[in-house]
Structure 1
Amino acid sequence: MKPGPRRSISQADIVDAAFEIFEEKGGDAVSIRGVAARLGLTPTAMYTYFTSKNALERAMVEQVFSGVDLAAASDPSVAWRARVHRLAGDLRARFAEHQGSIVLVASGPLDGRHALSFGETLLEGFTSDGMPLADASRAAAAVRAYVLGAVTVDASETGRDADAADAPAPLWTEATQHPLTEAADLLGGADPFDDGLARLLDGLGVAAVA
């Protein structure tokens, strides 16, 4: 006898199932019907939780933001600049847990409760550090854009590494046409993410940690 649907399904269960499909088959495979089948629900039952694929994708983004430790980033005993680094690194790590999930950000505005709380924490920190609200708003937007841009680069490099591992070795190679890029790749040194964020904060006028 075919098993019936689960008696108790939460929105978190649905989002988890959507991420399973996303990571197995890619974003195009995530659908109301596909997630319903994974959970033993009917598509009609799914619509009582999410009215569209777009709503489901936005909930997936919310789950990523929900894992950021905002309480630790609000600790006034730690310099604000250090807390920005922690917030940014934490959000980057959350997206890294779901490779490729950065594409979900395009599903709609970042206006869910957890995404807004992330932005609110940035605003509170910048204003408490002495910035007028208008400047703090621009600074928070710049930090968020920097992190999401870095996550996009992370995802593209992960995909490139995977493709390179499966590709046959070339028979021959040309002399590089991008010598500065090649030289920069060989420099090593500071973590590019932290270094870039530090330079951004310098430009925003956030005092360096003593």
Structure 2
Amino acid sequence: MRPGPRRSLTHAEILDAAFGLLEAKGFEAVSVRGVAGVLGLTPTAMYTYYPNKGALLAGMVEQVLGRLDTRGADAAAAASSNAGDAAGPGASAARARTRIVTLAEGLRSILVERPGAVGLLLATPLDGPNARRLDERLLGAFTDAGLDPVQAGRATHAVRVHVLGAVAFDAAEVERAAGAPVPADIEAAPAASATLWDDAETFPLGDRSRELADDPAARFAWGLERLLDGLLAHPASARS
């Protein structure tokens, strides 16, 4: 077989360019040809790295999740255990909870830096080594806390949904506050209050909540703790 073109870029450089395209132009703009154009390569040269868009997106997901320190979550759980004298099922649940919180907060921190990656995680099969490593840690933590395999799978899904949803909503709020420009070919929609709802009742609780300007990190942590309160409460009685 004849050797293919010599590779002159690293995978990390290509994926960084792909993320730059993602953040600048959105999910639909990310393609093998699009990234090749950013890097000044021919599509043929790019195909020696990533044969199709699916492979490129999978590489981006793996790069994101590869930054998550899953071992650090285990260390945090061990440290919390050493700090207390409790033993038995309660101690196991406490260690598991610390591990889950550390993983979820770590994933949120990574995605806050690259909110466009939320779309990647929703649109791409999470079957790479780094994605499976994260799932394995979460599943193991919930199992250690007393959940059966079905419950652990559901709980892992719920934590992922909480992380991705929180990051997506927070990013949208930041974009709205920054006054993101509307493309020239799209007419901005008027606010609902300027059209249909002028005569509607007021919403004092909602208005007051908006005025509080809640901290996104604190809001995320509170929601995660309340979610875990439910997921880890009496797991044996929750089987269905």
TM over 0.5: yes
Instruction: Describe the superposition over 1:18-47 as per-residue Cα deviations: whole angstroms up to 9, x where unpaired.
Output: 112222333333221221133232201211
Name the counterpart of 1:52: 52
Amino acid aligned to 1:43: P
Change (3 A) 1:109 1:165: closer
Give the Å deviation of 1:54. Answer: 2.8
Name the counterpart of 2:231: 204
SS in 1 for 2:178: helix
Under a length normalisation based on structure 1, what TM-score does the superposition of the two structures give?
0.82
Q: Provide the C-alpha distance between the structure 1 equivalents of 2:175 and 2:114, rounded to a whole number of angstroms.
A: 13
Instruction: Describe the superposition over 1:50-100 as per-residue Cα deviations: whole angstroms up to 9, x where unpaired.
Output: 122232122212211111110011234132212222111111111111133
Give the Å deviation of 1:105. Answer: 2.2
Give the Å deviation of 1:197. Answer: 0.6
Structure 1 segments unaligned to the other structure (5+ residues): none
Amino acid aligned to 2:108: R
Change (3 A) 1:63 1:164: closer
Amino acid aligned to 2:167: V
Say whether residues 1:134 and 2:147 are aligned partners. no
Amino acid aligned to 1:183: R
Name the counterpart of 1:182: 207
Count matched residues: 200
Q: Provide the C-alpha distance between the structure 2 equivalents of 1:86 and 1:46, rounded to a whole number of angstroms.
A: 37
Say whether residues 1:160 and 2:176 are aligned partners. yes
Say whether residues 1:17 and 2:22 are aligned partners. no
Change (3 A) 1:189 1:20: closer
Q: Provide the C-alpha distance between the structure 1 equivalents of 2:24 and 2:6, rounded to a whole number of angstroms.
A: 22
Structure 2 segments unaligned to the other structure (5+ residues): 81-94, 183-190, 235-240
Amino acid aligned to 2:206: T
Give the Å deviation of 1:6. Answer: 8.2
Under a length normalisation based on structure 2, what TM-score does the superposition of the two structures give?
0.72
SS in 2 for 1:136: helix
Amino acid aligned to 2:231: L
Q: Does the CA contact (< 8 Å) of 1:15 and 1:59 recur in 2?
A: yes
**Range moving further from structure 2, 135-144 or 124-133:** 124-133
Give the Å deviation of 1:7. Answer: 4.8
1:1-210 superposed matches below 5 A: 7-75=7-75, 76-77=77-78, 78=80, 79-163=95-179, 177-187=202-212, 191-205=218-232
Give the Å deviation of 1:118. Answer: 0.6
RMSD across aligned positions (CA):
2.9
